[in-house]
Structures are given as structure tokens and as C-alpha cells.
């Protein structure tokens, strides 16, 4: 079997319901289909949806994340944030084509931590190679899968910059991002999402990433994207230290209007992120879509209500932060939860994230400028653990499917066991990303330097690092 035939994907999501419900089809299913046979298993609807989803996820990074973050910094640093996000997205796309896709989504053989380099520079990928989905005998063009996953590789490193916004040098940061993607992101994506695919797993039951093999459920990237980026951000903000004047001078957001535009575009784009993660356009896609909608709504309402109770006024920044926290929490659970349990997850994540970005951050005194840790890491952990609960079919969840038999069948759900697996996945992500990020930040800071001088910081990164200013009145 050629390697590309075994090309796979996997969020552990379960879209084979239609096939199970129609056993007559089962006789016609082909195990280990050849590329020629896969070519007949491609659906134009799926392909269209996945390409649209890819564009939606790109919109989440530029402009949505850039504006969301940019509005939160002071005027003098606006362009530095926009530039960091734009360049990270661009560099990540190049790295993804270069070696990222291959490291993440080819088999590592007995190594379950990262894949090989056989598809470096997309070697062997063409318009007539295909990627597996979560249904037996359903494929999408491999380029579609490459580009969809590329958008995830683009936004994840960009999330990190919020933690140390307003105090980092541009090029050393770009170097960090290339190293971080290579050592942390691609292996994480491999461990969580790589598997041999529904038509091939029976013949190669150990051909999967480490966490996928444990049975960890992560629909759209709670561990790979949010916990991963969130803990890396915390490591960065600790190594870089606080902003000059932190807690001594006011550092209010310069434009919450921009932040609102960014948060709203994030919400829209997130439908591509979550519902697109089903890799097909079917019932489970709709499940992920509605869950993404209502969990976010619940979290936005919850944050506003908490602020009304605690501060006496509901703020826009609070509601927008709640919406993002809700999006983060529903990410791993999107295709597993039911709408009602998604709403509960949304309420829960706002309460917990509010506590972290107000009380815990102030108590511990670290300067996570834009709350990357408090919202993405903590929200991601709530979502990852919550996924183990809400995926239970007893609560209306989608459960999990056993792909080691052909065709796949529904697996027996053990909520306690699943939550423990989720905790293991969270712990591994925190240790790997937190540890490696701290070392990388430290080494770059001690060699080429990561933090600009105090004068540069006071003048603002826009003029000092980029030679321009955001607003010329």
C-alpha cells in the first residue's frame, strides 16, 4: 500500500451514521481502497464545504484575530500586533508546505510523536490524491485537506503573540514561531489527529498518533490549538517579563470597536474551524455548527451577567471575551456535544475564565497582556475535559466510533475513563508546549534578544520596529 493511500486525518469524529443505518450499503464498502477507487469516493459537496471552511479559518487569523488583539493594545503598538499576526500566518503557510504537513500527517511508523518527511514540499501530493474523512469510503481531495489544516497551522502560533504584546522584537519572534511550529505544533497535530483512516485502521491498528491512540477526543483543536498556544503564551510572558510601567501606568485598549469587529469575525470564521473539522458536509457537521453557535452565545451572556454582578456594569470587552472563551471551549467538543450541553459548557467556561483573567492573574501578577493563557489555555482545558462529559451518548452526545473494525461501529462510552484520557492529553500538551516554549524563548532571549529596549517600548513598537504609525490624523 502506498503511503498516500493511507493518508488520513482524524479528529475521532463520527460521521458514519448514515452508513450504519443502511447495512445494505455495507456489502459494497471497499476496505483499503486504491487511489483509483478513492477517486470515485469524493463528493463535490464535501469538497466545496471544506474549501469554504478553509477560507473561513484564514479569516479568523487575518483580519479577525489581528483586529481583536490590535484593538486591545495601545495606539503606539497597534501595527506591531497586526504585522506579527500577518507575518506569522504567511510564514506558517510556507513552513506547512515545506515540512509541516508531512510531519503532522504522514505515518511515523513506530514513532507516535511525529510523522516523517516523505511529503516534504508536498512531494507526492497531487490533484488526484485523496485524504480520508471519518466515514468509510468517503474521501476529499488531498489538497483540500492540506489547505484546511494549513489554516490551523497559521492561526495557532498567531494566538500566542497576545500574551506578550507590546514588548517583543519582530524578527526574533518570527524565529521562535518557526521553531515552535516544528518542535511543538506539528508533533501535537500528529499526536492528536493523525491516524490511518477508517478504511485502513483495521489493517494497521497501531498506525496513529499517540493521543489519538489513547482515544483522546479533540474535534477541532482544544489541545492542539488552544491549550498549546495558551501555555506557550504564558511561557513567553514569564520569560519576557512585564511591560514597562505595568500596574503603574494605565494601559487601556485603544479601540474596543476593532476588538468587537475582530471578535465577531472570529465567531463567523469559527464555523469553518469547528464544523469544517468534520471534513465532510453532513449531519455531524450541522451538530458542530449549531454547538459552535450556542456555546458562544451562552458564554457571552454569562460573562456579561458575571460582570453585572461583580462590577455593576456589563462591558463590551467582557462580552467579547466571553464569546471567545465560549468558542475556545466548544472547539474540542463541537462535533461531540448536543446543543443543550454546549450551552452549559459555554456558561461554565465564562465563569472559570473570568476568575482567571481577573482574580488569578492579578494575584499572581504575571503580565499576560491580552489574556492568551486565561482565555485560550484555561478555556481549552475546560473544553477538553468537558468534551469527555458532553460526548457521552447518555447526555445526547455523539460518543465515539470504533474504526478498528470495518465498517466502523459505535464504541461503548465510558465517561470516567474518557475524562481521564482527556486529562492525560491536557497534561501532555501543557508539559510539551510549556516546556519547549520556555526553553525556546529563553535561548532566543539570551542569544539574539527577544525584548526591545525600554526606550523602544516607551516610544512604541510601531515607530521603532516598523517605522510607521497606525493613525495619522
Partner 1 sequence: MKLVIAIIKPFKLDEVREALSGLGVQGMTVTEVKGFGRQKGQTEIYRGAEYSTNMVPKIKVEVATTDDLAGRVVEVIQQSANTGAIGDGKIFVLDVAQAVRIRTGETDDVAL
Residues that bind partner 1 (CB under 8 A): 250-253, 311, 313, 315, 317-318, 321, 357-359, 361-362, 371
To the nearest whole angstrom, how small is the minimum distance from the Cβ of residue 322 to partner 1? 10
Residue 320's nearest CA partner among 61, 111, 71 is 71
Residue 258's nearest CA partner among 84, 471, 41, 29 is 471
List strand residue ranges (DSSP E) for 82-213, in order: 130-132, 139-141
To the nearest whole angstrom, how small is the minimum distance from the Cβ of residue 248 to partner 1? 11
To the nearest whole angstrom, how small is the minimum distance from the Cβ of residue 317 to partner 1? 6
Residue (263 or 284) nearer to partner 1, CB = 263
DSSP 243-300: PTTTTTS----S-HHHHHHHHHHHHHHHHHHHHGGGSS-SHHHHHHHHHHHHHHHHHH
Residue (57 or 299) nearer to partner 1, CB = 299
Residue (97 or 323) nearer to partner 1, CB = 323
Residue (69 or 214) nearer to partner 1, CB = 69
To the nearest whole angstrom, how small is the minimum distance from the Cβ of residue 359 to partner 1? 7
Residue (23 or 250) nearer to partner 1, CB = 250
To the nearest whole angstrom, how small is the minimum distance from the Cβ of residue 74 to partner 1? 12
For 192, phi then psi, to 5°, come to: -90, -35
User: How many CA atoms lie within 13 Å of 255's alpha carbon, on the beta-carbon side?
Assistant: 17
To the nearest whole angstrom, how small is the minimum distance from the Cβ of residue 307 to partner 1? 8
Residue (311 or 446) nearer to partner 1, CB = 311
Angle between helices 142-160 and 170-180 (to 10 degrees): 130
Residues 6 or more apart in contact with residue 420 via CB below 8 angstroms: 388
Residue 222's nearest CA partner among 103, 146, 69, 333 is 333
**Torsion (CA) 225, 226, 231, 234 in degrees, nearest 10:** 120
Indicate the helix (H) or strand (E) that contains 174.
helix 170-180
DSSP 296-346: HHHHHHHHHHHHHHHHSS--HHHHHHHHHHHHHHHTTTTTTS-HHHHHHHH
To the nearest whole angstrom, how small is the minimum distance from the Cβ of residue 161 to partner 1? 17
| Integer Cα distance of 200 and 386 in angstroms | 30
Residue (98 or 253) nearer to partner 1, CB = 253
DSSP label of 242: P
To the nearest whole angstrom, how small is the minimum distance from the Cβ of residue 226 to partner 1? 18
Residue (44 or 313) nearer to partner 1, CB = 313
Cell numbers representing residue 163 in the block = 500574551
Residues 6 or more apart in contact with residue 22 via CB below 8 angstroms: none
Asked whether the bond before 154 is cis by omega within 30 degrees of 0, the reply is no
Residue (315 or 421) nearer to partner 1, CB = 315
To the nearest whole angstrom, how small is the minimum distance from the Cβ of residue 334 to partner 1? 25
Amino acid at each position: 500500500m502506498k503511503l498516500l493511500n493511507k493518508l488520513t486525518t482524524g479528529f475521532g469524529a463520527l460521521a458514519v451514521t448514515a452508513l450504519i443505518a443502511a447495512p445494505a450499503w455495507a456489502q459494497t464498502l471497499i476496505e483499503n481502497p486504491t487511489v483509483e477507487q478513492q477517486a470515485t469516493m469524493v463528493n463535490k459537496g464535501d469538497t466545496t464545504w471544506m474549501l469554504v471552511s478553509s477560507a473561513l479559518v484564514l479569516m479568523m487569523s487575518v483580519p479577525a484575530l489581528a483586529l481583536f488583539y490590535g484593538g486591545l493594545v495601545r495606539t503606539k503598538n497597534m501595527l506591531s500586533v497586526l504585522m506579527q499576526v500577518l507575518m506569522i500566518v504567511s510564514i506558517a503557510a510556507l513552513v506547512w508546505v515545506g515540512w509541516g504537513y508531512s510531519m503532522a500527517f504522514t505515518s511515523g511508523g513506530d514513532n507516535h510523536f511525529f510523522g516523517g518527511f516523505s511529503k516534504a514540499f508536498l512531494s507526492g501530493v497531487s490533484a488526484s490524491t485523496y485524504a480520508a474523512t471519518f466515514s468509510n469510503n468517503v474521501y476529499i481531495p488531498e489538497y483540500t485537506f492540506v489547505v484546511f489544516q494549513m489554516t490551523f497551522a497559521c492561526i495557532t502560533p498567531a494566538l500566542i503573540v497576545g500574551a506578550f504584546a507590546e514588548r517583543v522584537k519582530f524578527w526574533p519572534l518570527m524565529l521562535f514561531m518557526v521553531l515552535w511550529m516544528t518542535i511543538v505544533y506539528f508533533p501535537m497535530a500528529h499526536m492528536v489527529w493523525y491516524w490511518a483512516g477508517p478504511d485502513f485502521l483495521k489493517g494497521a491498528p497501531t498506525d496513529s498518533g499517540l493521543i489519538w491512540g489513547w482515544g483522546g477526543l479533540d474535534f477541532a483543536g482544544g489541545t492542539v490549538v488552544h491549550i498549546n498556544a495558551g501555555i506557550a503564551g504564558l511561557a513567553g510572558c514569564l520569560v519576557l517579563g512585564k511591560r514597562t510601567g505595568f500596574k503603574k501606568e494605565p494601559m487601556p485598549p485603544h479601540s474596543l470597536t476593532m476588538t468587537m469587529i475582530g471578535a465577531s469575525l472570529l465567531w463567523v470564521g469559527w464555523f469553518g474551524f469547528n464544523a469544517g473539522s468534520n471534513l465532510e458536509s453532513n449531519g455531524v457537521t450541522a451538530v458542530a455548527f449549531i454547538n459552535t453557535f450556542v456555546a458562544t452565545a451562552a458564554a457571552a451572556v454569562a460573562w456579561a451577567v458575571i460582570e453585572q454582578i461583580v462590577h455593576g456594569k456589563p462591558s463590551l470587552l467582557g462580552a467579547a471575551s466571553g464569546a471567545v472563551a465560549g468558542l475556545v471551549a466548544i472547539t474540542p467538543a463541537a462535533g461531540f456535544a448536543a446543543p443543550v450541553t454546549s450551552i452549559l459548557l459555554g456558561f461554565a467556561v465564562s465563569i472559570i475564565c473570568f476568575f482567571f483573567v481577573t482574580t488569578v492573574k492579578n494575584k499572581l501578577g504575571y503580565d499576560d497582556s491580552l489574556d492568551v493563557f486565561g482565555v485560550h489555555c484555561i478555556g481549552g482545558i475546560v473544553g477538553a475535559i468537558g468534551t469527555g462529559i458532553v460526548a457521552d451518548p447518555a447526555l445526547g452526545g455523539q460518543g465515539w466510533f470504533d474504526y478498528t473494525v470495518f465498517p466502523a461501529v459505535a464504541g461503548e462510552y465510558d465517561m470516567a475513563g474518557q475524562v481521564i484520557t482527556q486529562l492525560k492529553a491536557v497534561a501532555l500538551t501543557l508539559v510539551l508546549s510549556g516546556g519547549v516554549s520556555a526553553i525556546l524563548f529563553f535561548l532566543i532571549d539570551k542569544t539574539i534578544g527577544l525584548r526591545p529596549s525600554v526606550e523602544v517600548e516607551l516610544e512604541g513598537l510601531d515607530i521603532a520596529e516598523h517605522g510607521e504609525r497606525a493613525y495619522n490624523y
